Structure 1
Amino acid sequence: MKLGSKIHLYSSVLFAVLLIAANTTVYFVFSGMMIDREIGKLAAETEIAAAALRNAAEPAAIRELMRAYVPLEGMLRLVNGDGRGGEYLVTSAGETELSREGAVFFSERREDKLVIGSRNYGFVSLPVIAADGSIVNVQATASMEELMELLGLLRLVLFSVSAAVLVPVVISSGVLGRVLMRPISDMTRTMRRIIGSGEFARLNRKGKSRDELAGMGETFNEMIGLLEESFVRQEQFVSNASHELKTPLTIIESYASLLKRRGADRPELLEESVEAIHSEAVRLKGMTEQLLLLATARRAWQAETEKVDLLPFARQTAATFGKVYEREVAVELRGTGPDRQGKAERMGDAFVDLEDGLSTRTDPDMLKQLLLILLDNARKYSDGPIELRLGSEGERFYMAVRDNGIGIPENELLLVFERFYRVDKARSRDGESTGGAGLGLSLAKELAKALGGELTLASVQGEGTTATIWLPAI
């Protein structure tokens, strides 16, 4: 059964049950009150009759009083303690059949509703002391047929009203089911269209409703937007990755083929070919490692944190990097932000207190990898000394790598974090391709997030670029 049909059925049945329960309650409460009211009236009339008969001693006087107090449609009689009640019994003109009912003596007051034949009666029995000192019952029986007819009319009215109300309820519940199902049906059709065409589509949102269904539609559109963006990025990633991997493989294959054809005849090609193959193999290995790391969910990266003194850590990393690439890396402590003008002394001569306080908890291996990526980028795109600035600002420490290269255009600052994005080769120090795959900054940004920090980039064309690692202080 479809959800809309379930809503239609369940809401109709629920409302019908509630309506029937409400009308049944109304009927029984009203009928009980009316019956009690009628019996109460009969009891009051019987008490008046009993007060008058209590003092009557003559049989003729008793009969006259009984004729005066007999109910309009009923019977009045006196019943002795031995159960005899035939001597003093009076009925109204239309209720002579009541005289055939046997007399029963009750020692206590009694009020009840009786069914005699097919008719309903109210019955009241009052024990009183007669003039001769004996205890007798003054019993009155009155017809309640008029009340029963009124209650029957009430049942008919409630039934008719219930039937009349259920018709629009069934119709409205069907409309309600369709209204509630419309956004879900639209969503289902949209998803089927996406599956059939392979193209992403969004729901057409009409109106300004802010209910849960409208929220679900907006969330669906947001999800489709994220999926579309992710799909486009994935396609671009696969395309770029295949292109980037194809280049070194082609070079390796070409030089290997050259060696195979002419290596024996031309030994001078051996060194050139081996160097080219080795260089491309190293590049291919680094690119593959970066791709594998980027393909791993960041939550799967196991960061093993420990206390790290940032200044000795930065000096050691800078020294290692400088020896490998024969580039000068100047380590500085600064009292202001990494991109601001302010007092800065090499090796902390004027900042001994700051030097002692630059400690945080982080993963040293991941932080070293992140710092080496930034230093390597600075090496590729500048030819002067590289500055590594350390300091604190607010509740955070920073490590800023600054080069004096040409810089990055403002409209490309955010793009450089995209995978496989590379700026123009004119930014390199020699005007040629640096050989990078465009994965370094993308990986660096992910590493910074994994460490609980942030990576920012600032650049001024003609002056240089500053990449800053922000880390939480202990």
Structure 2
Amino acid sequence: MKLRTKIQVYLSVFILIIMLLVNTSVYFLFYKNATESELEQLVAQTELLVERLAKTTDTNEISELMNAFLPANGMVQVFANDGQTLEFKHREDAYKTLTGKFQAEETHEILKPERGVNVAVVTRPIIWQDGSVVTLQLSNNLVELSNTLTILFYVLLFASLILLIPTFIGGNILIRFLLNPIHQLTQAMKENIKGRKWRKIDLTNRSKDELYEMEATFNDMIDQLKDNYEKQEDFVSNASHELKTPIQIVKSYAQLIERRGKDNEALIQESVEAIDSEADRMKKLVEQLLALAKSKREAEHTKVELVQLVDHSVSTFKHAYNREIECIKNMESIDVKGNADQLEQIIYILIDNALKYSEKRIIVSLFTHNGDVIFSVKDFGKGISKDEQERIFERFYRVDKARSRETGGTGLGLAIAKSITEEHQGELTIDSVMGEGSTFTLVLPILREE
């Protein structure tokens, strides 16, 4: 069943139930008030008859009084304590079916005999002419009330049927209001799936309701998908380009050896060194691509002692590169929650990046501030412009492409560091001034013991 049909059916059933409850309440409220009113009138009539009978002793007058107080569609009866009927007055033969008997208590009630016409009955004990206690009963068949209730029933039924028309029209308007955005959303999804048109929903002149939020979220999702798709295309293109260059160099040197390498040992040595260098470049690129993919997967996070990790990394670079690396810290031990191998990789990337792009000393700092541990690496190179700082963490982006080729850079190191930082709920930023150098800062939350 389609959503349109479901809404129409559910709405119609709901309105029918509401109208049924309302109409039933109206009908029975009217019935209750009308019968109580009729019964009160009959009680008042009975009281008046009793007063008149108390003042009368003549049998003929008693008969005339009963005829005078005879209800329009009812009877007046008097029953002796032995069950004998002393008086019996009625308007028509049709209303003689109500039976009565002697009773010592007064009652007011509405009866409904087999004929289906409501009967108001008032029964009251009185003192008769001979001093005995008898029962006086006045009854009135509520014929007019029954006719009125019948008319009311048909009026309510007709009104309910009439109300279904605007309900149906209003339901269609509501359905159109609810489903049109969904249809637009579905159509946009189909177009985006088939042709990658990245179509979004037009939100101009729209009220900011839940449907608006859904469509706005869809537009944000399309923007994100488009951005990710373009980044993926750039990634594949850049990765292909990065691999294509060393492969072409290896192939060129291999062809050169085949043509001229048999009698030229110097050429063979040069080719082997070039092939080995490019193979190392490809190996490093593949390793970084794998590291970038691995950083997207969840790694086990445990307590990591960061000071020891930084000291070990700084010591390794000092011995490997024989460069001046100054290490400043304001604590001897600090714990963070994370993956030790991944955090060490960030430290390696930042120090290695500073050594590549600066011939001078570099400064490594480690300190705490406001519940965070801050690790920074400062170099004194030529710096990075503001425009390039915004793209420095993109995959394969390199500030100085010529120098990056010389130093073996692939443009993936900072992207890997940024990805790992985000997995550790941290922040990696850059502050650079042209001609003065750059500072990369890593902020991580300190692990607090429960």
Task: Calculate the TM-score normalised by the size of structure 1.
Answer: 0.86
Please report how far the alpha carbon of residue 235 of structure 1 lies from its aligned counterpart in structure 2 after TM superposition: 0.8
* Residue correspondence of structure 1 range 314-325 to structure 2 within 5 A: 314-325=310-321
Please report how far the alpha carbon of residue 28 of structure 1 lies from its aligned counterpart in structure 2 after TM superposition: 1.2
Deviations 1:422-443 (A, max 9, x none): 11346x4xx9643211001101
Specify whether residues 141 and 473 from structure 1 end up closer, same or farther in structure 2 by C-alpha distance, changes over 3 A only: closer
The answer to whether 1:435 aligns with 2:408 is yes
- Is the contact made by 1:303 and 1:366 (CA closer than 8 Å) also made in structure 2? no
Q: Name the counterpart of 2:208.
A: 210
Deviations 1:211-259 (A, max 9, x none): 1011111111111111111111111111111111222222233333444
- Is the contact made by 2:121 and 2:138 (CA closer than 8 Å) also made in structure 1? yes
Q: Name the counterpart of 2:6.
A: 6
The code of the aligned residue for 2:159 comes to V
Please report how far the alpha carbon of residue 379 of structure 1 lies from its aligned counterpart in structure 2 after TM superposition: 1.9
Q: Distance in 2 between matches of 1:44 and 1:19?
A: 37
Please report how far the alpha carbon of residue 188 of structure 1 lies from its aligned counterpart in structure 2 after TM superposition: 0.9
Please report how far the alpha carbon of residue 100 of structure 1 lies from its aligned counterpart in structure 2 after TM superposition: 6.6
Deviations 1:363-403 (A, max 9, x none): 44322211111121112212222222333444333222122
Aligned-partner SS, 1:136: strand
Instruction: Out of 296-305 and 455-464, give the one that drifted further.
Output: 296-305
Specify whether residues 72 and 319 from structure 1 end up closer, same or farther in structure 2 by C-alpha distance, changes over 3 A only: closer
1:403 to 372, 375, 379: 379
Instruction: Out of 295-304 and 274-283, give the one that drifted further.
Output: 295-304
Please report how far the alpha carbon of residue 469 of structure 1 lies from its aligned counterpart in structure 2 after TM superposition: 1.8
1:463 to 425, 436, 447: 436
Q: Provide the aligned length of Structure 1 versus Structure 2.
A: 446
Q: Name the counterpart of 2:197.
A: 199
Q: Distance in 2 between matches of 1:455 and 1:116?
A: 92
Deviations 1:36-69 (A, max 9, x none): 2212221232233234335654432321332232
Please report how far the alpha carbon of residue 287 of structure 1 lies from its aligned counterpart in structure 2 after TM superposition: 1.3
The code of the aligned residue for 2:400 comes to D
Please report how far the alpha carbon of residue 203 of structure 1 lies from its aligned counterpart in structure 2 after TM superposition: 0.4
- Is the contact made by 1:47 and 1:126 (CA closer than 8 Å) also made in structure 2? no
- Is the contact made by 1:57 and 1:132 (CA closer than 8 Å) also made in structure 2? no
Q: Name the counterpart of 2:276.
A: 278
The code of the aligned residue for 1:22 comes to V
- Is the contact made by 2:295 and 2:419 (CA closer than 8 Å) also made in structure 1? no
2:171 to 170, 173, 182: 173
Specify whether residues 375 and 114 from structure 1 end up closer, same or farther in structure 2 by C-alpha distance, changes over 3 A only: closer
The CA RMSD measured in Å over matched residues stands at: 2.5
Q: Name the counterpart of 1:105.
A: 102
- Is the contact made by 2:295 and 2:416 (CA closer than 8 Å) also made in structure 1? no
- Is the contact made by 2:299 and 2:339 (CA closer than 8 Å) also made in structure 1? no
Q: Distance in 1 between matches of 2:63 and 2:405?
A: 136
Q: Name the counterpart of 1:338.
A: none
Deviations 1:60-109 (A, max 9, x none): 23213322322233221212233322x422234xx244357655334543
Q: Distance in 2 between matches of 1:14 and 1:81?
A: 57
The code of the aligned residue for 1:366 comes to Q
Instruction: Out of 170-179 and 253-262, give the one that drifted further.
Output: 253-262
Q: Name the counterpart of 2:348.
A: 372
Deviations 1:266-286 (A, max 9, x none): 333343233222222222222
Aligned-partner SS, 1:415: coil
Q: Name the counterpart of 2:77.
A: 77
Deviations 1:426-464 (A, max 9, x none): 6x4xx9643211001101112222333221111111111
Aligned-partner SS, 1:302: coil
Q: Kindly report structure 1 stretches of 4+ aligned residues shifted beyond 6 Å.
A: none
Q: Name the counterpart of 1:88.
A: 87
The code of the aligned residue for 2:391 comes to L
Q: Distance in 2 between matches of 1:206 and 1:432?
A: 49
Instruction: Out of 7-16 and 250-259, give the one that drifted further.
Output: 250-259
Q: Distance in 2 between matches of 1:43 and 1:76?
A: 13
- Is the contact made by 1:55 and 1:131 (CA closer than 8 Å) also made in structure 2? no
Specify whether residues 362 and 175 from structure 1 end up closer, same or farther in structure 2 by C-alpha distance, changes over 3 A only: closer
Specify whether residues 274 and 41 from structure 1 end up closer, same or farther in structure 2 by C-alpha distance, changes over 3 A only: same
Q: Distance in 2 between matches of 1:276 and 1:81?
A: 135
Q: Name the counterpart of 1:337.
A: none
Give the percent of matched residue pairs that are identical in Structure 1 and Structure 2.
Answer: 38
* Residue correspondence of structure 1 range 414-453 to structure 2 within 5 A: 414-425=390-401, 428=403, 433-453=406-426
Aligned-partner SS, 2:27: helix
Task: Calculate the TM-score normalised by the size of structure 2.
Answer: 0.90
Specify whether residues 367 and 74 from structure 1 end up closer, same or farther in structure 2 by C-alpha distance, changes over 3 A only: closer
Specify whether residues 245 and 360 from structure 1 end up closer, same or farther in structure 2 by C-alpha distance, changes over 3 A only: same
Q: Distance in 2 between matches of 1:100 and 1:473?
A: 97
The answer to whether 1:39 aligns with 2:9 is no
Instruction: Out of 111-120 and 443-452, give the one that drifted further.
Output: 111-120
Specify whether residues 298 and 386 from structure 1 end up closer, same or farther in structure 2 by C-alpha distance, changes over 3 A only: same
Q: Name the counterpart of 1:340.
A: none
* Residue correspondence of structure 1 range 283-298 to structure 2 within 5 A: 283-296=281-294, 298=296
Aligned-partner SS, 2:302: coil
- Is the contact made by 1:391 and 1:398 (CA closer than 8 Å) also made in structure 2? yes
Q: Distance in 1 between matches of 2:32 and 2:268?
A: 114
Structure 1 runs not aligned, ≥5 long: 334-353
Deviations 1:342-365 (A, max 9, x none): xxxxxxxxxxxx344655555443
